[in-house]
Amino acid sequence: MADLGDLREEYGHDSLSEDSVHPNPVEQFRIWFDHAVDKKIPEPNAMSLATVDETGQPWQRTVLLKAYDDKGFVFYTNYESRKGKQLAHNPKTCVLFPWIQLERQVIVTGSVERVSTSESLKYFASRPFGSRLGAWVSQQSSVVSSRSILLAKFEEMKNKFKDGDVPLPSFWGGYRIVPDTIEFWLGGKSRIHDRIFYRKASDGSWTIERLAP
């Protein structure tokens, strides 16, 4: 059996400096994201999304980043899911990109807003037929008594929308995470890791600080 205490990697193949990072963290994210894509790590756009429920209990799940720019980071989901209800109550969130193979992680904090219906529609229309049907089939996060019920619902929806024209469900769409802070973490030798922390000021500019690892 593996001794977890002995599982240890020595990091430190690259370095990250507050003087050389891009002044705009979204552009710095672009540099790192493109690198992650180039390195062919599995699902580089998978991010762990944290929300908090009404009792203060945090929850997490993986979602896929589908767009990003200076306005924020966009993912798509069911607005009536557990995360959707939690975000309606408390729009503050945190996402983490776990690019472990690259000895990197990026953490974004901020608040969500819904993307426009036209933006959701555009993305929804680009999804394969089965994925569009899937959005109609699943009342995400509700209890289902069996898998066969979902499969039957899938067949029902397949039949209903057999002409291939699947409308955007009113309960499905995108959220944009408008960032307040973005941290870039890079593994360093002897646990002297680099942490470059951007914080958005009230005038919209970004301050850059180094955090202790």
Ligand X SMILES: Cc1cc2nc3c(=O)[nH]c(=O)nc-3n(C[C@H](O)[C@H](O)[C@H](O)COP(=O)(O)O)c2cc1C
Residues of the shown chain interacting with ligand X in the complex, contacts defined by CB under 6 A: 43, 46, 59, 61-64, 75-77, 81-83, 140-141
Q: What does the H/E/C string look like for 102-149? A: HCEEEEEEEEEEECCHHHHHHHHHHCCHHHHHHHHHCCCCCCCCCHHH
Answer yes or no: is 191 a known binding residue.
Answer: yes
Closest CA to 18 of 194, 169, 153: 194
CB of 33 to ligand X, least distance (A): 16
Answer yes or no: is 107 a known binding residue.
Answer: no
Answer yes or no: is 30 a known binding residue.
Answer: no
Catalytic residue check, 191: yes
Give the dihedral sign, CA 39/176/92/204.
positive
Answer yes or no: is 112 a known binding residue.
Answer: no
The packing angle between helices 147-160 and 129-137, to 10°, is: 120
Largest CA-CA distance found in the chain, in angstroms, rounded: 60
CB of 62 to ligand X, least distance (A): 4
Cβ atoms of residues 51 and 109 within 8 Å: no
**Nearest CB to ligand X, comparing residues 49 and 196:** 49
Q: Which of 114, 132, 147, 191 is catalytic?
A: 191
Per the annotation, binding residues for substrate are 8-11, 66, 123, 127, 131, 191-193
Active site residues: 191
Residue stretches of the annotated binding site for FMN: 61-66, 76-77, 82-83, 105, 140-141, 185, 195
Task: Summarize the annotated binding site as residue ranges.
Answer: 8-11, 61-66, 76-77, 82-83, 105, 123, 127, 131, 140-141, 185, 191-193, 195
